[in-house]
A and B are shown apart, each in its own frame.
Chain A
């Protein structure tokens, strides 16, 4: 027994090490858990990207759930996410609101013309002040906001097909179960 003790000690370290590796493959080290989850989305009032004279506020979007997708033309990973949104956006069953983050409107429009526009509505936050209220710290980020304006789900990083199936769609399904 005593002779096996070092071996057990070694195995304990191996298990710890393996757990660490497993944990890091399951969790994004850069994703910060949002304190805004299950809390009302911050109030905002932002101009539309294509009609800058018109603004959209949080109150305007109440009543129907929507996916607020933070993107920018300078964001490389948004290019990864975009085809997924293009393909799956219409079948999600919620409105797709594009949140153009810290971007020159001309660049954003050019980017959308090039990559396609999956959004039902586009709002622009060029200075990025409102984004701080949402706890945004990069792009892409996505918020699922329910009909009452509560943030129900947040994803940091690109929405991959895997994330769509495992996280976003179940979250949307849960919304629809709550409020039929």
Chain B
């Protein structure tokens, strides 16, 4: 079972892909499909976040900023300039990436690390949220904006059924995983930076540059995710898009799933998102927000007792009981 978590094993990957892509062929009610789409979306977002957060070890709690830029810029491009949504998606991601330099360059260049970096990212997202609320004439302020209905099709990213959305987001997530599996040297540099920046610098790694690259890539994909959110939900407002809740969710899923695994965010989302959506749908009215309470409690528990997340704990158990190489005799790097 553990080998599933090492992406080098193709013979396990193929069946997984088959299952993944044939999932929608099983007839199911729309709300189940909705939950599946949302699960994949969060898996995708959490994976995008983990490029900066888990690989490079820079815990950003402001990634909602990039999510929001992706969402809003796609909105403007589509409604004002009639840019086909499929293109707006990419431009939205690029814009998010470009703006990420605004917070990334000063922080990395001036060596803002650890908690202080995290605080700066939180402030960054809040600034954007405040600006977007302020510019109400353009952005619709707190009330948000809706996307009008459009012609169905891939160019418009508008579908009546949910299945096409599922294929799109799943492909997005899969591409991300494949890209990240392949980028081995880049990952090595990021892991070195995560482990110890001073040591990394002393062996020739340009820490500032690689942190920045990680941020650019992470924010690009997060921006794409924000745009997808817009085209799927058809409604955004500054609180959803730039809110701390959104940032926290990306972080929670990654940490819960496993910080040292490429599959961690996916596993985290597969476990938590359906629970959250179920709670939201079933307990909805009277107990709105109860899924967030559960998320919060889970995050606290995981941080305290299972810092390596689900995947990490499974690996620990595997090492200890199956391979009998646990504790001091661990013989595997915490690598991706």
The answer to whether A and B assemble together is no
